[in-house]
Structure 1
Amino acid sequence: MEPVRDIYPSRTGECEKILNRMDPVVYGDSTSAPEFGLKQNQIEFYEDNGYLTIPDFMPEVVPDLIAEMDRMKEDLAGDETLVTEPDSGEIRTIFKPFAHSDVVDQLSRDPRILDKVRQLLGSEVYMMQSRINVKPAFKGKSFPWHSDFETWHVEDGMPRMRAVTVWLMLSENTEYNGPLFVVPGSHKKYVACSGKTIEKNYETSLKKQVLGVPKPETMKEVLANSDIKGLYGGPGTLVFHECNLLHGSPDNISADPRSILMFVYNSVENRPVEPFGGQPPRPHYLSNPDVAPLKPIKLS
């Protein structure tokens, strides 16, 4: 099989570059919205900014999800799908929660979410990755500026920018407890990072990311034409986050923990190929090998 041409080269050992995006942001036909689809003004905001926040979307599901999160912390203790903080040893991330919780699995296929995702990506989708991110009070550490697509492209072989992360706030996200910061509009460019991917980079990057992180001078150039936006909200707030949007988060310096549940939906027309960084594919909990289209659940 002829190798897929890499139109987004990164970590090739060359100097860092800011390249033009070569893919659409919205793939679907906005003139024919599904039952639970986004409104035209929401689609336009997402296309322009690279994210969309829907406050108070489904707060009723949060208590059961928190109970499932607490259960998985205990049931999966010592499992490779649990990642701890680099300093304190407290839980930082639970990967692939949909495989361990019917509650999470059903939510990932809820048509109130799935309709919107398929509308944006213009195709059937599968669950490429899922996680629960936890930032303990006082001890939750930062995530540096990065584009998810850069990592998924280099380390997982995602060929094009045709994926979206949808995440639900499980706790209050404030300016003090390590919220997500985004650079609106940054998804329209692509930062080809310097460096070279090392073998099993994920074993350290999940605790502290170094590769795939734009240099300060690059971020200074990016931020010359854009502001930083903090994404705040109460439990049940839903966020759509374009795969190439530059984002990061600071330490949690407050007494309030912060938790979010994330689903990464990838188009079935954008299935991964051999990783462009030259390393073997990452484990199943980081890039799901099951690329079957998700079947929505029936709402009662």
Structure 2
Amino acid sequence: MKLSAEQLATFDEQGYIFFPNCFSEDEIALLRAEADNILKLDRPEVWREKTGAPRTAFAAHTFSPVFELLARHPRLIEPLRQLFGEDVYVHQFKLNAKAAFEGDVWQWHQDYGTWQRDDGMPAPRAMNIAVFLDEVMPINGPLLLIPKSHKQGVFDAGHDKSTTSYPLWTLDKDTVTKLASAAADGSGVGIVAPTGKPGSVLMFHGNLVHASPPNITPYPRKIVYLTLCAVSNHITKFTRPAFIAHRDFTPIVPAEDDALREYARAHRVAAE
């Protein structure tokens, strides 16, 4: 999947691009079933909310053949190779679950701020591609973005270790208010919440300020975040566990475009 000139211009201006219906229903059914199984596991990579509900499963691509294929999927890899002009590697792989009624907040932050402070990543030549496994609605904890905030570099942040079960470098209220005001259009709203059906994909800049509210609805919201980094920009500090900040900088060899469908077919045949 290559980005058009219009998409490249939108990404440069807004800091994100949204692709509805990037993956088929069959592909998403396979990924969602695998995600549900992984979130039940008791292993170090699976972090939970203070209530015990699943929050994040790290590095699922290292122990799940289904997510290993997703981590090499050309629809996700090619746009970043195009943007960076070089090969990429997996810096981080997260399965984020906003469980029904129990999914907690993700505070306002920049991802590159964490990668720079904790992992020694030299430059913001890495970003997230988010794959919606469930329908993301305005009511079930969607990702909130502040358009154009990626153009202002890395902001000062505090290391919040108490609000949730996961420590995060977070921005203060004044900073977020100023950024949202600067991004506001004629409606006076400077925050967007991309929503869509399962199979939609959101790509956003590593410096784009974002957050997500709690999910107090009966509707779960699972999203896979594949963080891809330019190989020449690999991390230089190893302060976090390897399953959170990967240390294998091998360039990704993309899978075939129909790899997930072929796996689903083979799995059904084997199951019979």
* Interval of TM-score (by shorter of Structure 1 and Structure 2): 0.7 to 0.9
Give the corresponding residue for 1:289. 247
Which structure dedicates a bigger proportion of its chain to helix? 2
For the residues of structure 1 that align with 2:236 and 2:163, how far apart are their CA atoms?
Answer: 21
Q: Partner letter of residue 56 of structure 1?
A: N
> 1:261 Cα shift?
0.9
Partner residue of 1:83?
47
Residues 205-244 of structure 1 mapped to structure 2, 5 A cutoff: 207-209=165-167, 212-226=169-183, 227-244=190-207
1:106 maps to which of 54, 64, 69: 69
Structure 2 unaligned segments of length 5 or more: list them: 184-189, 259-272
Matched residues, percent identical? Answer: 31
CA deviation profile, 1:24-52 (whole Å, cap 9, x unmatched):
xxxxxxxxxxxx21111111111111111
The alignment partner of 1:192 has SS state of: coil
The 3-state SS of whatever aligns with 1:144 is: strand
1:62 aligned residue (25, 28, 52): 28
Do structure 1's residue 262 and structure 2's residue 219 form an aligned pair? no
SS in 2 for 1:225: helix
Which residue identity is paired with 2:31? L
CA positional deviation for 1:263? 0.4
Q: Is the 8 A contact 1:191 1:214 kept in 2?
A: no
Contact 2:105/2:164 (<8 A) preserved: no
Structure 1 runs (4+) deviating above 3 angstroms are none
Q: Tell me whether 1:249 sits opposite 2:212 in the alignment.
A: yes
CA offset at residue 212 of structure 1? 2.0
Listed as ranges, the gaps of 5+ residues in structure 1 are 1-35, 275-279
Number of equivalent positions: 251
**1:56-83 Cα deviation digits (max 9, x unpaired):** 1113311111111122233x31x11111
**Counterpart for residue 17 of structure 2:** 52
Give the direction of change, closer, same or farther, for the CA distance of 1:228–1:283 in structure 2 (3 Å limit).
Answer: same
What is the Cα-based RMSD across aligned positions, in Å? Answer: 1.8
Provide, for residues 115-140 of structure 1, a one-character-per-residue CA deviation record: whole Å limited to 9, x for no partner. Answer: 11100121100000001100111111
Instruction: Report the residue type matching 2:46 in the other structure.
Output: L
Equivalent-residue separation in structure 1 for 2:228 and 2:191 (angstroms): 25
TM-score of the pair, normalised by structure 2:
0.87
Letter in structure 1 aligned against 2:165: K
Are the equivalent residues in 1 in contact too, given 2:154–2:207 (CA < 8 A)? no
**Which of 263, 270, 273 is matched with 2:236 structurally?**
273
Pick closer, same or farther for the CA change 1:194–1:58 going to 2, 3 Å.
closer
Between 1:215-224 and 1:157-166, the stretch displaced more is 215-224
In the superposition, relative to structure 1, how do residues 255 and 194 fare at CA in structure 2: closer, same or farther (>3 Å)?
A: closer
